Amino acid sequence: MENFADRLTSAILRKNSRVVVGLDPHPQLMPPHLREDASLEHGEGIQAEAHAIMRFNEEIIEAIAEHVVAVKPQVAFYERLGSWGFLALEKTLAMAREAGLLVIVDGKRNDIGSTAAAYAEAYLGDGPLAGDALTVNAYLGEDGLRPFIDRCRGSAKGLFILLRTSNPSAGDVQDLPVHGRPLFLHLADLIDAWSQGTEGEGAYRSVGVVVGATYAEEARQLRRRLPNLPFLVPGYGHQGGTAADVASCFNPDGTGAIVNSSRGVIFAYRERYGPEEFARAAKDAARDMKVDINRALGLGD
């Protein structure tokens, strides 16, 4: 069985794309006609909202599939709709798989013992919410991560551990000085040790890290320190990260990272073509982002 790291690298090279699209269905930003159509059949409540999201994601996935390597549904946007939202998430995972995309479930889960094991089973097992990879938080230490990391050995599953996030307050905790250097660099060493044993055939491990595009210098330090860990890079576009910023997350051969954009792609219709053509707008935005990053890396389109 090909491991997650190898699947990721092979998707990057095959599609010449380093793009992940975040499937974050903000209720205020969805094309209004989808909700109206869903209301005709399912009324005014949560059920209609969930059906609108399913149709939205279906059309987005079909449109962007050729230009992106993965999709990353942010679980919060589904959770807000309770059991109906999770039904929408389950359908979304199935549609993405059908389209040949890797699925990174952005849950930022974290817990200990049997609870961590339950999360690992939910998101890296065989159930209805399982994706190819999951995001997790390391504040609880190694035993909170071990059930996830162990699922990445000898399997097709992967993990991205929050290391340096893209938000303005990221430094509140992550930059606290530990032995004279910021906490996130210390955590990088721990993750480097914990992730051993998840190597694939190629250069990378199946346990990677989340490194925000908005902190280019920190990303450069981390890329040097963690040459074998794949980076999941949020913060491009809406949050202010540019293609030049994200370039520091890649190894010289243009592998080792994937860059996420959410609203800049899925809600691109607000900048071009209008709501009726939201899928075409997303497709062109994904293609533009792919080209933007490839050019910053000195690669062909």
Of 91, 108, 157, 290, which is the active-site residue?
108
Closer residue to its own copies in complex, CB, 2/176: 176
- Cβ–Cβ under 8 Å, residues 69 and 9: no
Q: Which stretch binds its own copies (CB under 8 A): 63-71, 127-135, 198-206, 288-296?
A: 127-135
Non-local (6+) Cβ contacts of 36 within 8 A are: none
Q: Is residue 110 at the binding interface for its own copies, with CB under 8 A as the rule?
A: yes
Which position among 2, 36, 98, 143 is part of the footprint of its own copies (CB under 8 A)?
143
Within 10 A of 272 (CB to CB), how many other CB atoms are there?
11
Q: Which stretch binds its own copies (CB under 8 A): 8-16, 51-59, 110-118, 246-254?
A: 110-118
- Cβ–Cβ under 8 Å, residues 299 and 16: yes
Distance CA 142, CA 134 (A): 16
CA distances from 62 to 41, 75, 100, 107, 299 (A): 23, 20, 10, 23, 26
Q: Which stretch binds its own copies (CB under 8 A): 61-69, 82-90, 240-248, 249-257?
A: 82-90
Active site residue 108: yes
Within 10 A of 167 (CB to CB), how many other CB atoms are there?
13
Residues taking part in catalysis: 108
For binding to its own copies (CB under 8 A), which residues are involved? 24, 26, 46, 74, 76-77, 79-87, 89-90, 108-116, 118-119, 121-123, 125, 127-129, 137-144, 162, 165-174, 176-179, 183, 186-187, 190, 239
